Chain A
């Protein structure tokens, strides 16, 4: 990890209704040096204390109740500019276009490789306005 040890590790929030992914994704993110939290629904994320701190949102599309796109709209309505990386199990071109049009940075299709996710996160953090910190890809 570059930068001073006093630097706060960026918080990445994962919103996905799949329990196993809520378990594994944050673990992966922590493994590469991020702070990570997981939420089971858009509502849970919106009402949490981590909303403002989140540097990047990794968001599932197909969720019961409030979908990923719904959450994106709601955040926009609230004036929140958290960069969003969508993850989804369904290849739907319309949804992809809509998400990107509404300002998402990236659309990843499950199952995605860890490098694809990390590249997307790096892109967000480097160009997303913050003092970007590149995070190590594994040496493969």
Chain B
């Protein structure tokens, strides 16, 4: 044994039969000749610390494992000081070397060019203190495109600077699955439509062929009777009457079929306009992101319920959102911002507006916008706004457009809230009708 102090972590059997970890320090006492005279031993109970260390190690292992399994990495970011703490998984997702010094610029480099505006907008939002939760794409240094979900919120402030806690999740797999699902869904809808159409055509053909068959038969009889020698005019007259009756039957069939396959009736019910709007937003999100449109929504809290046909109103909102997105299709020099707002229009009516940063419209065009078949789109059919206006008018509301102060336009509709509003107008018109 060398005559130098040393220490050891070792387990010691206690009186209760259990082992505890001790840090044992050994100090030799040397005599005049440099030989070990005796050892001074000091033992410190480090069992609690050891246990805590073990737990920490296990927790860390679990955390890393769970992050890897869920493909979610965690981040702590001091944006203003450009200091970033990343968990192992974030490095792995981005395919960065773990020794990389992470900076905002470095991260910007791997963001998919089409999604850069989206990212910058999210950064901006985060700096104002709002929670951030959005989808975008990155392109790793090796060229792999990944769909990621970025979440961040302010955790605390340090020296006046906000500190963000966040996560980055690789959602590529589920994005691909979602897109495959959507594709399958629309193919299925298409097949269902075609199948229905075939069945429809067959049933219409069958319904019409019956009266037509007897119509032709009767007309043939008529001809033969007239050609008889002598002509059987009375008989011919009778068949002509039957022919007319058959013709009428055919037109009845058409009327019946038309009624059967026409649009559903107007079905108003109390509905939450914000909720309906959120559903439309959810539906349009991926289309909008594909068109690089940055969607913002400002849905007023405590908005009263409105009375309306949910599906029809959602059709209108979807139409306005799509138009806004299309209007910005050629915009390159500014963010393609789309703002959906709901607010109280008056004490008993509610307004929804869709504001875009697109090309806007000239004054002269303003009153043509809602006309049937008016369109500026190459392959547009021009029925969107016209139908939307009829729907809103059926709700006793109004739909209008205004040019923005900046670029683009805002399309808004306002509809009354309470059922009484609708009933009042109907009673009024009934009265005037009877007068």
**Interface membership of chain A positions 73-101, coded 1 if the CB is closer than 8 angstroms to chain B and 0 otherwise:** 00000000000000101110000000000
Q: Is the CB of A28 within 8 A of B221?
A: yes
Given known A21-B217, A89-B205, A90-B202, contact A138–B224 (CB-CB < 8 A): yes
Please name all residues of chain A whose beta carbon is closer than 8 Å to the beta carbon of B239 when the two chains form the complex: 24, 27
Check: B371 CB closer than 8 A to any chain A CB.
no
Given A20-B246, A28-B217, A110–B224 Cβ distance below 8 Å? no
* B191-228 contact mask (Cβ, 8 Å, vs A): 1 or 0: 00000000000100110011111111110110111010
Let me know if B71 is at the binding interface, CB within 8 A.
no
- Would you give the shortest CB distance from B428 to chain A, in whole angstroms? 48
Whether the pair B242, A24 counts as a contact (CB closer than 8 A) is: yes
Interface residue ranges of A118-140 to B (CB < 8 Å): 138-139
| A11-25 interface bits toward B, Cβ cutoff 8 Å, 1 = contact, 0 = none | 000000010110111
Q: Which residue of A lies closest to B249 (CB)?
A: A20
Q: CB distance B218 to A24 under 8 Å?
A: yes
Q: Is the CB of A111 within 8 A of B216?
A: yes
CB distance from B369 to the nearest CB of A (A): 46
Contact B212 A111 (CB under 8 A): yes
Residues of B within 8 A of A24 (CB): 214, 217-218, 221, 239, 242, 246
Task: Annotate B247-276 by CB proximity to A: 1 below 8 A, 0 otherwise.
Answer: 001000000000000000000000000000
> Interface residue count for B (Cβ, 8 Å)?
24
Q: Does A114 contact B (CB under 8 A)?
A: yes
CA distance A20 to B227 in the complex (A): 23
Q: Which residues of A contact B223 (CB under 8 A)?
A: 138
For A89, what are the chain B residues with a Cβ–Cβ distance below 8 Å?
Answer: 205-206, 209-210, 213
A18 to B253, CA, bound (A): 14
Complex: chain A residue closest to B211, CB-CB: A20
Asked if A49 CB lies within 8 Å of chain B CBs, one says no
The residues of A that contact B213 with a CB separation of less than 8 Å are 18, 21, 87, 89, 110-112
A31 to B211, CA, bound (A): 20
A22 to chain B, nearest CB (A): 9
CB < 8 Å: which of A31, A110, A139 contacts B209? A110
21 contacts between A and B (CB under 8 A): A18-B213, A20-B211, A20-B242, A21-B213, A21-B214, A21-B217, A24-B214, A24-B239, A25-B217, A28-B217, A28-B221, A87-B213, A89-B209, A90-B202, A111-B216, A111-B217, A112-B213, A113-B220, A114-B224, A138-B223, A138-B227
Closest 4 A/B residue pairs (Cβ): A89-B209, A114-B220, A110-B213, A20-B214
